[in-house]
Amino acid sequence: ETGVTQTPRHLVMGMTNKKSLKCEQHLGHNAMYWYKQSAKKPLELMFVYSLEERVENNSVPSRFSPECPNSSHLFLHLHTLQPEDSALYLCASSQDAGGAAAPLHFGNGTRLTVT
């Protein structure tokens, strides 16, 4: 059983909808991440939070909006998405994002389909 829980597992939304992805980690880690996984492409890092502060934002379109209310929870708010945003969205956590090379612990992902 993973220590990182993502909900929902599957999401289908229209381009005009607003939805949110949720991630919760039970590992006591202080860094959390959002990754996008598309077929035949490398994993794309979207956002990094360390100690609840955003430390990385990889030129992600503003239709993706992250929120980290505390070190255990991470959200990704979605609005006016495009069909090319359909992908598997993975949340991960680690102990420290300061270069100590701590392993990432991933959730099972949310499979998003934009129609």
Partner 1 sequence: AQSVAQPEDQVNVAEGNPLTVKCTYSVSGNPYLFWYVQYPNRGLQFLLKYITGDNLVKGSYGFEAEFNKSQTSFHLKKPSALVSDSALYFCAVRDGEGTDKLIFGTGTRLQVFP
Residue whose tokens read 């993706």: 64
| Binding piece for partner 1, criterion CB under 8 A, among 60-68, 69-77, 79-87, 107-115 | 107-115
Q: Which two tokens stand for residue 7?
A: 């909900």
61 - beta bridge partners? Answer: none
| Binding piece for partner 1, criterion CB under 8 A, among 13-21, 63-71, 72-80, 100-108 | 100-108
- Work out whether 105 is an interface residue with partner 1 (CB under 8 A): yes
- Work out whether 51 is an interface residue with partner 1 (CB under 8 A): no
Cα separation of 13 and 58, whole Å?
24
Count of residues engaged in binding partner 1, rule: CB under 8 A: 29
Question: Which residues, numbered 15-34, are part of the site for partner 1 (CB under 8 A)?
Answer: 31
Of the residues 7, 98, 113, 115, which one makes contact with partner 1 according to CB under 8 A: 98
Cβ neighbours of 97 (radius 10 Å): 20
Cα separation of 77 and 34, whole Å?
12
**Would you say 40 and 106 are in contact if contact means Cβ atoms under 8 Å apart?**
no
Question: Which residues, numbered 59-88, are part of the site for partner 1 (CB under 8 A)?
Answer: none
Phi and psi, residue 3, nearest 5° = -85, 0
What residues line the site for partner 1 (CB under 8 A)? 2, 4, 6, 31, 40-43, 45, 48, 56, 90-92, 94, 96-109
